[in-house]
Amino acid sequence: MSKYWKPGSERPRTVLVDDEEGGVLFLSSPPSSSGFGHSSLERQRQRLPVYKYRTAILYLVENHATTIIVGETGSGKTTQIPQYLKEAGWAEGGRVIACTQPRRLAVQSVASRVAEEMGVKLGEEVGYTIRFEDQTKPNVTKIKFLTDGVLLREMMDDPLLIKYSVIMVDEAHERSLSTDMLLGLLKKVQRRRPQLRIIISSATIDAKSMSTFFHIRRRNIGQAAEDPTPSELPAILSVEGKGYNVEIHYVEEPVSDYLQAAVNTVLSIHDKEPPGDILVFLTGQDDINAAVQLLTEDAQNNGLLVLPLFSGLSRADQDLIFSPTPKGKRKVVISTNIAETSLTLEGIVYVVDSGFSKQRFYNPIPDIENLVVAPISKASARQRAGRAGRVQPGKCFRLYTEEYFVKEMPAEGIPEMQRSSLVSCVIQGNKGESGGLNDLRRNQNTQNELKLKALGIDNILGFDWLASPSPEAMIRALEVLYSLGILDEDAKLTSPTGFQVAEIPLDPMISKMILSADTYGCSEDIITIAAVLSVQSIWISVRGAQKEFDEVKLRFAAAEGDHVTYLNVYKGFIHSGKSSQWCYKNYINYHAMKKVIDIREQLSRLLRRLGIVLKSCERDTQVLRKAIIAGFFAHACCLEEFSPNGMYKTIKSSQEVYIHPSSVLFRVNPKWVVYHSLVSTDKHYMRNVIAIDPSWLIEAAPHFYQVRKPNPAPY
Predicted confidence band of residue 434 (pLDDT cuts 50, 70, 90): very low
Instruction: Give Cβ neighbours of residue 672 (< 8 Å, ≥ 6 apart).
Output: 636, 637, 638, 639, 691, 692, 693, 694
pLDDT for 385 beyond 70: yes
φ/ψ of 40, rounded to 5, equals: -60, -45
**Would residue 195 count as lying in a domain?**
yes
What secondary structure letter does DSSP report for 337? G
pLDDT for 81 beyond 90: yes
Q: Tens digit of pLDDT for each residue in 499-517?
A: 899 889 899 999 999 999 9
Look at 206-210, 274-278, 509-513 and tell me which has the smallest mean pLDDT. Answer: 206-210
**Cα–Cα distances in Å, from 692 out to 100, 472, 529?**
42, 30, 17
**Cα–Cα distances in Å, from 326 out to 200, 310, 347, 371, 406?**
37, 22, 12, 37, 39
User: Once rounded to an integer, what is the mean pLDDT over residues 424-442?
Assistant: 44
Question: Domain range holding 660?
Answer: 621-700
Q: Amino acid identity, residue 156?
A: M
On whether the CB atoms of residues 534 and 593 are closer than 8 A, the answer is no
**Would residue 289 count as lying in a domain?**
yes
**Would residue 450 count as lying in a domain?**
no
In 579-620, which ranges are continuous DSSP H helix? 580-585, 590-609
Residues 120, 184: Cα–Cα separation, whole Å: 34
Residues 391 and 527 in one domain: no
φ/ψ of 647, rounded to 5, equals: -85, 130
**Sign of the CA dihedral with 680 first, then 655, 427, and 464 last:** positive
The burial of 326, by beta-carbon neighbours within 10 Å (0-12 exposed, 13-18 middle, 19 or more buried), is given as exposed
Residues 154, 148: Cα–Cα separation, whole Å: 10
User: What is the pLDDT, as a whole number, of residue 299?
Assistant: 53
**Cα–Cα distances in Å, from 576 out to 32, 292, 368, 583, 677?**
59, 29, 39, 9, 30
pLDDT for 637 beyond 50: yes
Q: Tens digit of pLDDT for each residue in 34-46?
A: 343 446 788 888 8
Residues 296 and 215 in one domain: no
Residues 250 and 235 in one domain: no
pLDDT for 222 beyond 50: no
CA 569 to chain centre: 27
Residues 203, 298: Cα–Cα separation, whole Å: 37
User: Once rounded to an integer, what is the mean pLDDT over residues 672-700?
Assistant: 93
User: What is the pLDDT, as a whole number, of residue 240?
Assistant: 81
Residues 689, 678: Cα–Cα separation, whole Å: 10
Residue closest to 202 by CA, chosen among 164, 230, 168: 168
User: What is the pLDDT, as a whole number, of residue 473?
Assistant: 83
pLDDT for 362 beyond 60: yes
**Would residue 449 count as lying in a domain?**
no
CATH number at residue 336: 3.40.50.300
Look at 98-102, 575-579, 614-618, 675-679 and tell me which has the smallest mean pLDDT. Answer: 675-679
Residues 605 and 626 in one domain: no
**Would residue 439 count as lying in a domain?**
no
Beta-strand ranges (E) seen in 442-519 are: none
**Would residue 311 count as lying in a domain?**
yes
pLDDT for 542 beyond 80: no
Residues 216 and 289 in one domain: no
**Would residue 500 count as lying in a domain?**
yes
Tell me which of 609, 635, 653 is where a domain ends: 609
Longest CA pairwise span in the chain (Å): 99
**Dihedral Cα 527, 533, 534, 540, nearest 10 deg:** 120
Residues 649 and 574 in one domain: no
The burial of 96, by beta-carbon neighbours within 10 Å (0-12 exposed, 13-18 middle, 19 or more buried), is given as buried
**Entry field: residues in the chain:** 715
On whether the CB atoms of residues 168 and 98 are closer than 8 A, the answer is yes
Predicted confidence band of residue 582 (pLDDT cuts 50, 70, 90): very high
Q: Amino acid identity, residue 386?
A: G
User: What is the pLDDT, as a whole number, of residue 678?
Assistant: 86
**Would residue 42 count as lying in a domain?**
yes
Tell me which of 239, 261, 294 is where a domain ends: 239
CB atoms near residue 18 (< 10 Å): 10
Look at 61-65, 390-394, 521-525 and tell me which has the smallest mean pLDDT. Answer: 390-394
Burial annotation 41-60 (CB, 10 A radius, 16+ → b, else e): eeeebbebbbbbbbbbbbbb
User: Once rounded to an integer, what is the mean pLDDT over residues 333-358?
Assistant: 90
On whether the CB atoms of residues 423 and 364 are closer than 8 A, the answer is no
Tell me which of 213, 239, 265 is where a domain ends: 239
Q: Amino acid identity, residue 18?
A: D
Residues 594 and 694 in one domain: no
pLDDT for 31 beyond 60: no
Instruction: Give Cβ neighbours of residue 332 (< 8 Å, ≥ 6 apart).
Output: 266, 270, 277, 278, 280, 295, 304, 305, 306, 307
On whether the CB atoms of residues 65 and 232 are closer than 8 A, the answer is yes
User: What is the pLDDT, as a whole number, of residue 101?
Assistant: 94
Q: Amino acid identity, residue 369?
A: E
User: What is the pLDDT, as a whole number, of residue 74?
Assistant: 76
User: What is the pLDDT, as a whole number, of residue 153?
Assistant: 87
CATH number at residue 532: 1.20.120.1080
Look at 130-139, 365-374, 455-464 and tell me which has the smallest mean pLDDT. Answer: 455-464
Question: How many structural domains are present in the chain?
Answer: 4
Q: Amino acid identity, residue 174?
A: E
Q: Model-level pTM? A: 0.77
- Work out the mean pLDDT of the chain and round it to a whole number: 84
- The DSSP annotation for 192-247 comes to H-TT-EEEEEESS--HHHHHHHH------TT--TTSPPPBSSPEEEEE------EE
Residues 316 and 362 in one domain: yes
Residue closest to 444 by CA, chosen among 509, 364, 368: 364
Residues 231 and 255 in one domain: no
Of 540 and 251, more confident: 251
Residues 262 and 224 in one domain: no
Predicted confidence band of residue 244 (pLDDT cuts 50, 70, 90): confident
Residues 201 and 128 in one domain: yes
Predicted confidence band of residue 318 (pLDDT cuts 50, 70, 90): confident
User: Once rounded to an integer, what is the mean pLDDT over residues 129-141?
Assistant: 93
Residues 347 and 387 in one domain: yes
Residues 329, 303: Cα–Cα separation, whole Å: 5
